[in-house]
Chains A and B, each alone.
Chain A
Amino acid sequence: MTDLLIESQTLEERLRSVLPGDVDYASVRLVDERSEHLTVRRNQLEPIFNQFDTGVMISIWNDGGLGYAATTDLSEAGLRSAVDRARYWATVTAGSMVTAAAPRDHATGTYTSPVEVTWDSLPLDDRIGLLQQQSRLLGIDDRIVNWGASLVRRDVDQLLLTRSRIGATGRIEQRFRFVYPSLQATANEGTNTQTRTFGGHAFCGQGGAEVLGRYGFGDAASQVAEQALELLEAPNCPTGVMDALLAPDQMVLQIHESIGHPLELDRILGDERNYAGTSFVTPEMFGTYRYGSELLNVTFDPTVPGQLASYAFDDDGTPARRQYLIENGILVRGLGGAVSQERSGVPGVANSRANNWNRPPIDRMANLNVEPGESTLEELIASIERGVYMHTNNSWSIDDSRNKFQFGCEYGQLIEDGEIVGVVRNPGYRGISSNFWRSLSGVADADSFTVMGTPNCGKGELNQEIGTGHASPACKFSNIEVFGGEE
């Protein structure tokens, strides 16, 4: 199978020819994806799976109506039929819309993921061999009852063409290359089952084969297996109010659930209330609300090279740039694209994104990062009289206003009098977003700052799963309700 944009020189001309010029705003968004999924489970290669996914979404705004039509039929007749369907919907919905606001940009530009070592330079049998090798390093003990190693590669090419009644046109071509490595070892003894992974699913990003080295994929399996066994022997995490030191691969989840989602303007505007939920954040809070302690600085940053959700334009064609959402603890900006900004009057970012050609764009997180502080990780540990250092998320639950949360981790380290004194299993903690971040009492420096991502964030009606990027150093929170497993 081939790269469609290169292979089919006439496709772009065809797309351009069907895009109507007699409506307020029209766009066609082509997505062409090629992916490979490799898994070795218990030293046995699972069936290789190759996915090829191509289609277009036609969008038409006209006379106060909006219509979408998505199709896999890329013939001229198929595309014209989709345009007719989008026109139909724009007519049906005219006068009934929450907002008639259309995207205004007609930008032109390109984006390409930075790739140092092309994926195909690592031949298929070498990729399988690498996974077999990692699998053997995971299955090292009879108590390890399940284990696996996998690699997913996705190449996604997008072309967005826009046109308006007044003759403005835009063309945005973005080529993404994603790599998602993972490792897992599950150990069991009696009623105690413990799973340790390679950063959960957070160690992923844009690039080529160098992404594996970025996270130390080839060197991690032994530690994953050993820590799964270590957890079998460990006591349950203690229960009580104490400090929680969250490693970057838990901060990913903490940022995502209790900063990212609450700041999405479409949630604040009510679009998601039937499914993903609303938000405790209201429009009046932007500019003045103390979201966290003065140590909290959060950026929307689609410019980080190699991070999972880096891009140059969102799917409404708005140019993307780095902007602060929270600065010195104060909420300054929301996560909403051009349409949501117009609806809410709240400043936002370029984050109107669709997960594929068959879904319309909605407000999504992209790269949402906690900026490094000035303490070393060692200083943070030394400052804790009693607490737990928690690594790698494995459980997440939060209310529909994104306030009351409870999160769990794979691996905990008990800290007493400034020193790590042992391993604890089933570490968890709970809190309320609106005051949790005010208990942020330490932010580690750039040495522990890790660039990661969340591959599958679910939201939207129609439902959409999309990748978001998160980067963070380790962070310390004081006086947190911590607990362990069992009853």
Chain B
Amino acid sequence: MSSRDDQAYFDELVTTATSALVGDEVLLANVSGERTDFIRLNRSEVRQAGTIDQRTLTVDLVAGRRHVAGSIRLSGMRSIDDARIAALLAQLRDQRRVVADDPYLLYNTEPTSTERIERGSIPAPDAALADIRAAGSGRDLVGIYASGDTFSGFGNSLGQRNWFQSSTFNLDWCFYLRADKAAKNLYAGFDWDDDAFAAKVDWSARQVAALERDPISLAPGEYRTYLAPRAMEEVIQLLSWYGAFGRRALETRQTPLLKMLVEDVTLSPMVSISEDTANGVAANFQSAGFLRPDTVPLIVDGKYADTLVSPRSAQEYGVPTNGAGDAETPLSVAISPGTLPTASIDEMLGTGLFVGNLWYLNFSDQAACRTTGMTRFATFWIEDGEIVAPVDVLRFDDTAFHLLGDRLEGLTDEAEVLLDTSTYGRRSTGSARLPGAMVGAMRFVL
């Protein structure tokens, strides 16, 4: 089925289901899908390769304030899918008889239809494989290439239709030198460009060359540290997943930024964080039909600003929704860049740790926003602005109030666009736009 057909097909399914509603029923429907080609590689050869073709329809069947939800996979065959939807709606109606009114139910009743389609120029799978294998020739390349259409849509029985679709590719890979010493890189976008890919490969090759020096092991202690944008992404993701920017976690005092609420602790005035939907690659609508604003300021000059508010939280806490999903986590998070010159960051670091990537972050004490995690891939010891040696993996244990607060010396003047390559269930459309951070002292414990 072509991508245009997916949009038309969804519209037909919602229209048909709407015609079968009973009484004052309202139907909220969401579809998501992808046709993804994937090639998994190890040692510059193919480990697994194939195609995933899937579409999921999720519906919330509402009558008054009572409602029940469910999802099915769509086959793409109209007769089969109409029957599956009818069976699902019958089950939801049956279950609805035993549920009470939901005081937190909220859905958009002012239909606003939108469409955003991003078409790309993606090579055929065999051509992509040839290019990737050529890049890995004589090297140890490991990673995943994924490409193809992804789409999501919203429709309701009130006539609203929203559609988001993009055709993208991403190659998320490492060149390995030995053991755990590797240079990680990502080539992603809408249009494959041989020159751009070659530049990425060249950058990785130079990183691997830098790793060839004998590694050093640093003792636990505090080190002046530069966190590259990919490392910053891990810190921001951890905060996001545990509700730092969500209304529910704020109201229930589960936010890791609790001290900012209770004790007026602040982050550095250099830190401003927003949900930057306008510059992201995610859909600008959510599952109850609300549109996301172009931007939601979350932290401004180091202080709490707005939170992401889902429709249920809006009802529960009496604040307006701003189109957040149920998880109330940012999909297109951005940190405003600072003034440190990106091009001469080693020089700015002087002597200390250059951390290209962090890995496996979690909380040592969530209420205190004390985090722990590992360095990974290209981490170097720098002296007088020059690389001295790669560093064996280190565990840090420090609070974000230090890393983004009183020990933050500056942010780089360029923010890097980082596309989320995760594929749990389906290919992600999340992204981040982040600068690097210079930290005066970061605590390492193991």
Contacts and interface: CB of A to CB of B under 8 A. Distances in A.
Nearest to A72: B73
Interface string B173-207: 11010011010100000000000000000000000
B123 interface: no
A68 B51 CA distance: 6
B343 interface: no
A426 B365 contact: yes
Interface string A379-413: 00000000000000001111111001010100000
Interface stretch (A106-114, A159-167, A190-198, A327-335): A190-198
B245 to A, nearest CB: 17
Contacts of B99: 45, 48, 128
Interface string B216-259: 00000000000000000000000000000000000011100011
Interface stretch (B3-11, B14-22, B62-70, B403-411): B62-70
Given A360-B50, A462-B144, A96 B129 contact: yes
B378 to A, nearest CB: 13
A146 B364 contact: no
Interface centre among B51, B176, B179 (most CB of A within 10 A): B51
B376 A400 contact: yes
B263 A191 contact: yes
A237 to B, nearest CB: 10
A366 B422 CA distance: 23
B363 to A, nearest CB: 5
Given A395-B363, A462-B144, A462-B146, A52 B72 contact: yes
A318 B87 CA distance: 36
B365 A486 contact: yes
A55 B73 contact: yes
A50 B50 contact: no
A483 B395 CA distance: 15
A307 interface: no
A404 B396 CA distance: 11
A86 interface: yes
A463 B53 contact: no
A480 interface: no
Interface centre among A1, A52, A462 (most CB of B within 10 A): A462
B70 A50 contact: yes
B51 A70 contact: yes
Interface in A148-205: 186, 188, 190-195
Interface in B337-377: 359-368, 370, 372-374, 376
Contacts of B446: 404, 406, 430, 432
Interface string A63-96: 0001111111111001000100110010011001
Interface centre among B91, B99, B146 (most CB of A within 10 A): B99
Contacts of A98: 42-43, 45-47
A51 B372 CA distance: 35
A399 B98 contact: no
Nearest to A86: B50
B76 to A, nearest CB: 5
A128 B75 CA distance: 32
Interface in A428-485: 428, 430, 432, 458, 461-465, 483-485
Contact of A146 (B60, B252, B424): B252
A283 to B, nearest CB: 14
A142 to B, nearest CB: 12
Contacts of B40: 271, 461-462
Interface stretch (B100-108, B113-121, B154-162, B274-282): B100-108
A400 B71 contact: no
Interface centre among A47, A70, A190 (most CB of B within 10 A): A47
Given A49-B69, A461-B423, 11 more contacts: A1-B91, A52-B70, A69-B51, A85-B51, A86-B51, A92-B126, A96-B45, A96-B133, A398-B374, A408-B365, A430-B445
Interface of B: 38-40, 42-43, 45-56, 60, 67-77, 80, 84, 87-88, 91-92, 95, 98-100, 102-105, 125-126, 129, 133, 142-144, 146, 172-174, 176, 179-180, 182, 184, 252-254, 258-259, 262-263, 359-368, 370, 372-374, 376, 393, 395, 397, 399, 422-424, 445-446
Interface of A: 1-2, 44-45, 47-55, 66-75, 78, 82, 85-86, 89, 92-93, 96-99, 124-125, 128, 145-146, 186, 188, 190-195, 269-271, 273-275, 277-278, 358, 360, 395-401, 404, 406, 408, 426, 428, 430, 432, 458, 461-465, 483-487
4 nearest A-B pairs in the assembled complex, by CB-CB distance: A68-B50, A485-B365, A50-B70, A146-B252
